[in-house]
Amino acid sequence: MSRRTVNILWIAIAYFASSTITSTLAFGSRATARRFPSISATTTTSLQASTAAGGSKKKNKKYVPKWVKKETLADSAGDTGSLGFDGVGLKGTIPVVFRQGNETRTSMAWAGQPIRDVASQAGQYIQYGCGKGECGTCECMMNGKWVRPCVETVPASAADASAGELVLQIKAIKAKKTSSGTFFSIRSFFMGFWNNLLGMLGFLKFRRKASENWDERKAYEDLVAQKTLEKKLLRQRLQEAEGSDQPAPGMA
């Protein structure tokens, strides 16, 4: 085993040992907190006291998007079913229906009115991306045709009484996945140990393969150099033979 291989092996062992020690220390700190809750409670109390001295602690409130807080004309005036569209200030001649999952919202619009404005009036949330009709984030189905509400307008053909309602099927929004927030667990410790072990074995395996490739390449380069030298010597002998008008050795 060459000195270079030994050095690489020592570096891999040092990396494996450092990662294992770090994981063990993290596990030990959490185990200490569980075994001695009084210590962690004292630390928590001191942190709370310092926070209270600096100012009142803000309460964690659930984030509410602005589009949820904003009321439409229909929300501020009441139910459209009892008052009618004109009663709540929804003007237009074309009934527009937004469907998203199990929810349905209805509004009125004029021909040529931007669909995104109609959706805002109805309180229908649509997830937009570029806002230019290029990315397709807001793409939805309008009467059997795919459109992009950020740039699409209410078609003039919908103003015909026989056309009926203009129905837009909005894509459902996927709920964001929330993690447990656990920073460390016993399973993660053993998985980290196993991953480090596999990494070391893979490192040694590919290192051996790379060494074999290097030896093969070096042997090929030596062979090329030898053949080049032989041709050079043969060319010199040929030139000397032509100068003395005698056949060169091996050229007869």
Alpha-carbon gap, residue 247 to 168, rounded angstroms: 96
Lowest-confidence range among 18-22, 49-53, 151-155? 49-53
Could you state, in order of their start, the residue ranges of all structural domains in the chain?
Answer: 73-170, 189-231
Task: Give the mean pLDDT of the chain.
Answer: 75
Which pairs from 36-41 meet CB under 8 Å and 24+ separation? none
The phi and psi torsions of 218 (rounded to 5 degrees) equal -65, -40
Contact between 204 and 9 under an 8 Å Cβ cutoff? The reply is: yes
* SS3 state of residue 245: coil
Between 3-35 and 37-54, two packed helices, what is the crossing angle to 10 degrees? 80
The span from the first CA to the last CA of the chain, in angstroms, equals 50
Contact between 166 and 96 under an 8 Å Cβ cutoff? The reply is: yes
Supply the pLDDT for residue 98. 92
Alpha-carbon gap, residue 203 to 214, rounded angstroms: 16
Structure confidence by residue, pLDDT tens digits, 225-251: 999 999 999 988 888 888 776 555 555
Distances in whole angstroms, Cα of residue 74 to Cα of each of 66, 133, 141: 17, 28, 24
Give this prediction's pTM: 0.42
Q: What is the CATH number of domain 73-170?
A: 3.10.20.30
Supply the pLDDT for residue 148. 93
Alpha-carbon gap, residue 197 to 163, rounded angstroms: 68
Percent of the chain whose pLDDT exceeds 70: 60
Alpha-carbon gap, residue 27 to 186, rounded angstroms: 8
Supply the pLDDT for residue 153. 92
Supply the pLDDT for residue 39. 44
Structure confidence by residue, pLDDT tens digits, 204-215: 888 888 888 888
Lowest-confidence range among 19-33, 78-92, 180-194, 207-221? 19-33
